[in-house]
Structure 1
């Protein structure tokens, strides 16, 4: 019953978000930055999209690479980035197309559920420098009562955020949000178990707005 109610609410929420759009992933960018050192040498943002997070990372890093599988999105990210920036972008597969590291910071937002989980985390581990930081914001499939309760709590907060960010006026969806995100097919418990097997000591938490976070220090 809880799942049916949550799915109906999600359908209404999608329609509301089409009218009052806002970026659920960008909501976590500052949270990500708080998990990182004030200065670090290099970073790679996996699934960088149009580069918002990569450009934020560049304020602290000597070198940042944004990687995305979609060449058109990569071209837009590059066009949005001022000349002389520490950020470069490249089109490539997240598992085979990462530039040679190691990197002091690896970030991955709303991308991991598109990849084989264990293989992707092992790849990130190989590319992370000793003492480096991996931060993931991911999606999971709701199953438990706690999952559905957190989803229900997020509904009014999500609507309020969309209304306030758009000042109560309907708005077209931004270019960066036109692509639909594929639903996640793994439950949080399964993600946590697999992540801790590959990355011992990884810290994972369910979050608002249908996301979870993972932080691991190399």
Structure 2
């Protein structure tokens, strides 16, 4: 790595350390637009401290959040008003769904921690007829398109950090989530496996190092 590139990366790290913002929460409003205004039940897999689960409570009669970290689910309960009708379970993502079915299943920046095909099969089997599965995921960069989107995301990331932290570089907490690890699958591999499990699935590469997946159970 050249000395100049190293200095640029260090400068970006310092910039974002003082202007943090939640990349995953950026997609929450988009997620809400993928299913009907009112549904009976929804579950957020890998719910973290419950930000998306609380938003889902405005659209669903019953909402459940699942996370493997007991510290995080405890924090989610603390942050969630009793009137919101949101419950939380500390459980593995692939076993915590139990024997229920849901009208909406969401999973944000979590599925790359799981056996991908098995996770999709589990979500499919727990989705009620007419229900919607929405995933915001992370893929391993490999193709030219991947790298170009990553490069284009850098200035956008800076702009978003400035907009989210108007008034100066004062540190602000972001949502509590479990520690992440790099993705193993490329977008091409993800698309191939998803189409085999979920006929008619819609996938799209996104800026800010994410992709989206939407599937409706006909």
| Equivalent pair of 1:47/1:108 in contact (CA under 8 Å) | yes
8 Å contact 2:72–2:176 — kept in the other structure? no
Closer/same/farther in 2, CA of residues 78 and 177 from structure 1, 3 Å limit: closer
Which residue is 2:173 aligned to?
174
CA shift in 2, pair 1:56/1:204, >3 Å: same
Equivalence for 1:117: 116
Instruction: Give the match for residue 32 of structure 2.
Output: 33
TM-score by length of 1: 0.92
2:68 corresponds to: 69
Secondary structure of 1:44 counterpart? strand
Residue-pair matches, total: 215
Supply the distance in 2 between the matched residues of 1:57 and 1:115 (Cα, whole angstroms). 23
Displacement after TM superposition at 1:15 (Å):
3.9
Q: TM-score, normalised by structure 2?
A: 0.92
Question: Contact between 2:21 and 2:174, CA under 8 Å: does it hold in 1?
Answer: no
Tell me, in whole angstroms, the C-alpha distance in 1 between the residues paired with 2:8 and 2:189: 25
Aligned to 1:81: 80
How far the C-alpha of 1:145 sits from its partner, in A, is: 0.7
What root-mean-square deviation, in Å, do the aligned CA atoms of Structure 1 and Structure 2 show? Answer: 2.2
Instruction: Could you tell me which runs of 5 or more consecutive residues in structure 2 were left unpaired when the two chains were aligned.
Output: none
In structure 2, how many angstroms separate the alpha carbons of the residues matched to 1:197 and 1:136? 16
Change (3 A) 1:177 1:15: farther
State the alpha-carbon separation in 1 of the partners of residues 118 and 187 from structure 2. Answer: 17
Where in structure 1 are there 5+ consecutive unaligned residues? 1-5
Distance change (3 Å), C-alpha of 1:87 and 1:23: same
